[in-house]
Structure 1
Amino acid sequence: MPQHVPPGHLDAEQTATLLGVTRGNLRILVHRGHLKPSGGTDRHPLYKIDDVKRLHNERATRSGHPGNLEHPSASSLDAQVSAV
Protein backbone atom coordinates (compact mmCIF):
# COMPACT_ATOMS: atom_id res chain seq x y z
CA MET A 1 0.00 0.00 0.00
CA PRO A 2 1.48 3.41 -0.96
CA GLN A 3 2.47 5.71 1.86
CA HIS A 4 0.49 8.92 2.33
CA VAL A 5 2.74 11.93 1.80
CA PRO A 6 1.44 14.97 3.68
CA PRO A 7 1.45 18.42 2.04
CA GLY A 8 4.85 20.10 2.12
CA HIS A 9 6.74 16.79 2.14
CA LEU A 10 8.36 14.45 -0.37
CA ASP A 11 9.08 10.75 -0.12
CA ALA A 12 12.60 9.38 -0.66
CA GLU A 13 12.06 8.56 -4.33
CA GLN A 14 10.75 12.04 -5.10
CA THR A 15 13.55 13.65 -3.11
CA ALA A 16 16.27 11.64 -4.85
CA THR A 17 14.79 12.45 -8.26
CA LEU A 18 14.56 16.18 -7.55
CA LEU A 19 18.13 16.28 -6.24
CA GLY A 20 19.40 14.25 -9.19
CA VAL A 21 20.88 11.50 -7.03
CA THR A 22 20.23 7.81 -6.46
CA ARG A 23 18.40 6.53 -3.39
CA GLY A 24 21.76 5.26 -2.13
CA ASN A 25 23.32 8.70 -2.48
CA LEU A 26 20.30 10.21 -0.73
CA ARG A 27 20.96 7.90 2.23
CA ILE A 28 24.59 9.10 2.25
CA LEU A 29 23.43 12.75 2.28
CA VAL A 30 21.18 11.96 5.25
CA HIS A 31 23.94 10.04 7.05
CA ARG A 32 26.33 12.98 6.60
CA GLY A 33 23.76 15.40 8.00
CA HIS A 34 23.01 17.32 4.79
CA LEU A 35 19.31 16.40 4.95
CA LYS A 36 17.14 15.29 7.82
CA PRO A 37 13.97 13.19 7.58
CA SER A 38 10.94 15.01 8.94
CA GLY A 39 8.53 12.14 9.23
CA GLY A 40 7.61 8.76 7.87
CA THR A 41 9.42 5.68 9.07
CA ASP A 42 13.02 4.45 8.99
CA ARG A 43 12.22 2.45 5.86
CA HIS A 44 10.06 5.14 4.26
CA PRO A 45 11.31 8.57 5.34
CA LEU A 46 9.71 11.86 4.36
CA TYR A 47 11.53 15.12 3.76
CA LYS A 48 10.31 18.72 3.95
CA ILE A 49 10.16 20.38 0.55
CA ASP A 50 11.89 23.48 1.96
CA ASP A 51 14.80 21.33 3.20
CA VAL A 52 15.12 19.68 -0.20
CA LYS A 53 15.12 23.09 -1.93
CA ARG A 54 17.78 24.34 0.51
CA LEU A 55 20.00 21.34 -0.16
CA HIS A 56 19.46 21.66 -3.91
CA ASN A 57 20.53 25.33 -3.77
CA GLU A 58 23.57 24.54 -1.60
CA ARG A 59 24.69 21.83 -4.02
CA ALA A 60 24.14 24.17 -6.99
CA THR A 61 26.23 26.87 -5.28
CA ARG A 62 29.09 24.44 -4.54
CA SER A 63 29.13 23.31 -8.15
CA GLY A 64 29.65 26.89 -9.30
CA HIS A 65 26.05 27.72 -10.15
CA PRO A 66 24.07 30.32 -8.22
CA GLY A 67 21.77 28.60 -5.77
CA ASN A 68 18.86 30.99 -5.80
CA LEU A 69 15.44 31.09 -7.38
CA GLU A 70 16.82 33.03 -10.36
CA HIS A 71 18.91 30.02 -11.34
CA PRO A 72 17.22 27.87 -14.02
CA SER A 73 17.76 24.61 -12.14
CA ALA A 74 16.15 26.07 -9.02
CA SER A 75 13.18 27.24 -11.08
CA SER A 76 12.84 23.80 -12.63
CA LEU A 77 13.00 22.34 -9.12
CA ASP A 78 10.09 24.56 -8.10
CA ALA A 79 8.15 23.37 -11.15
CA GLN A 80 8.93 19.72 -10.36
CA VAL A 81 7.90 20.16 -6.72
CA SER A 82 4.65 21.80 -7.82
CA ALA A 83 3.95 18.79 -10.03
CA VAL A 84 4.31 16.42 -7.07
Structure 2
Amino acid sequence: MEYLSLPPGYVTTKLAALAAGVEPSTIRDWVRRGLLRPCGGSTRRPIYRITDIHNAKTAAKPRRSTAA
Protein backbone atom coordinates (compact mmCIF):
# COMPACT_ATOMS: atom_id res chain seq x y z
CA MET A 1 0.00 0.00 0.00
CA GLU A 2 1.34 3.39 -0.97
CA TYR A 3 0.83 6.58 1.00
CA LEU A 4 -2.24 8.51 -0.11
CA SER A 5 -0.72 11.90 0.63
CA LEU A 6 2.69 13.11 1.78
CA PRO A 7 3.74 16.59 2.87
CA PRO A 8 5.37 18.67 0.12
CA GLY A 9 9.05 17.84 -0.29
CA TYR A 10 8.72 14.27 1.02
CA VAL A 11 8.74 11.12 -1.12
CA THR A 12 8.63 7.35 -0.89
CA THR A 13 11.55 5.09 -1.84
CA LYS A 14 10.17 4.58 -5.35
CA LEU A 15 9.73 8.31 -5.94
CA ALA A 16 13.12 9.06 -4.37
CA ALA A 17 14.73 6.71 -6.88
CA LEU A 18 12.87 8.36 -9.73
CA ALA A 19 13.95 11.82 -8.54
CA ALA A 20 17.60 10.74 -8.26
CA GLY A 21 17.64 8.78 -11.51
CA VAL A 22 18.60 5.54 -9.78
CA GLU A 23 16.96 2.23 -8.87
CA PRO A 24 15.06 1.83 -5.56
CA SER A 25 17.75 -0.64 -4.48
CA THR A 26 20.29 2.20 -4.73
CA ILE A 27 18.21 4.31 -2.34
CA ARG A 28 18.14 1.40 0.12
CA ASP A 29 21.91 1.00 -0.33
CA TRP A 30 22.48 4.68 0.46
CA VAL A 31 20.49 4.19 3.66
CA ARG A 32 22.55 1.11 4.56
CA ARG A 33 25.79 3.04 3.94
CA GLY A 34 24.62 6.00 6.02
CA LEU A 35 24.44 8.47 3.13
CA LEU A 36 20.67 8.89 3.52
CA ARG A 37 18.31 8.61 6.48
CA PRO A 38 14.55 8.20 6.39
CA CYS A 39 12.74 11.11 8.00
CA GLY A 40 9.54 9.28 8.77
CA GLY A 41 7.21 6.54 7.71
CA SER A 42 7.81 3.02 8.92
CA THR A 43 10.61 0.50 8.61
CA ARG A 44 8.90 -1.12 5.63
CA ARG A 45 7.72 2.13 4.04
CA PRO A 46 10.17 4.94 4.80
CA ILE A 47 9.83 8.46 3.49
CA TYR A 48 12.65 10.84 2.59
CA ARG A 49 13.18 14.57 2.09
CA ILE A 50 13.97 15.62 -1.46
CA THR A 51 16.90 17.74 -0.23
CA ASP A 52 18.40 14.72 1.58
CA ILE A 53 18.14 12.66 -1.62
CA HIS A 54 19.97 15.35 -3.58
CA ASN A 55 22.69 15.52 -0.90
CA ALA A 56 23.11 11.73 -0.91
CA LYS A 57 23.38 11.67 -4.70
CA THR A 58 26.10 14.34 -4.75
CA ALA A 59 28.01 12.97 -1.72
CA ALA A 60 31.41 11.45 -2.32
CA LYS A 61 31.04 7.69 -2.58
CA PRO A 62 33.78 5.45 -1.18
CA ARG A 63 35.70 3.56 -3.83
CA ARG A 64 37.18 0.12 -3.60
CA SER A 65 40.93 0.04 -3.53
CA THR A 66 42.62 -1.83 -6.36
CA ALA A 67 45.76 -2.97 -4.56
CA ALA A 68 48.07 -4.96 -6.81
TM-score for both structures, normalised by structure 2: 0.72
Unaligned runs of 5+ residues in structure 2 are 62-68
Correspondence 1:49 to 2:50: yes
What is the alpha-carbon distance in structure 2 between the residues aligned to residue 58 and residue 33 of structure 1? 11
Q: What code does the residue aligned with 1:20 have?
A: G
**1 CA distance for matches of 2:29 and 2:43?**
14
Q: Describe the SS at the equivalent of 1:54.
A: helix
Say whether 1:31 aligns with 2:32. yes
- How far residue 56 of structure 1 moved from its aligned partner, in angstroms, is 2.6
Q: Which residue of 1 aligns with 2:65?
A: none
- Superposed CA RMSD in Å reads 1.8
Identity, % of aligned positions: 33
Structure 2 residue matching 1:24: 3-state secondary structure = helix
Letter in 2 for 1:2: E
Please tell me whether Structure 1 or Structure 2 has the larger radius of gyration of its CA atoms: 2
**How does the TM-score come out when normalised to structure 1?**
0.60
Instruction: Count matched residues.
Output: 60
Matches within 5 A, 1:1-84: 1-3=1-3, 4-58=5-59
Deviation at 1:25, TM superposition (A): 1.8
Higher relative contact order (CA 8 A, sep 6+): 2
